[in-house]
Amino acid sequence: MSITFQFLDASLNRRLITLLEKHAIKHRVDQTGVIHFSPADEEKVENDLIGLVRGQVFRSWQLVTCPDDWSDRYRAYMKVHDIPFQEERSNDETWFLIPRKHRPRLWKLDEPRAKKRALAR
């Protein structure tokens, strides 16, 4: 089993691949650009290398995670409110990298329509 990660921005993903090669971390990149690496390297890759790339995007940053059925909602909210973000995929989950100054817990997002309908019944 492998851990997967991808910056959806191709240039950020290339930076990470370069770092993996520089640090001699065994990995492979599939046809869609997803990086696969060993769980044995998880701490080094996630804490040091991915964090280094994130810090190049935003000096002070945080990750926003949400259920997949909420990702379009978060993406739209950030675009409407001019919140800069980069998307990541980690083990098939969408994550959003944003500047630390934003407070996503205060964002007013609508519940998914299917959930609203289920609650109304």
**Mind listing the pLDDT tens digit for each residue in 43-100?**
999 999 999 999 999 999 999 998 888 999 999 999 999 999 999 999 999 999 999 9
> What SS3 state is found at 23?
coil
Tell me the two tokens of residue 54.
């994130």
pLDDT confidence band for 104 (50 / 70 / 90): confident
Whole-Å CA distances, 14 to 18, 19, 72, 77, 117: 6, 9, 25, 28, 42
Q: What is the pLDDT of residues 3-39, one digit of tens each?
A: 999 999 999 999 999 999 999 999 999 999 999 999 9
- Confidence category of residue 117, pLDDT binned at 50, 70, 90: very low
What integer pLDDT is reported at residue 112 of this predicted model?
A: 54
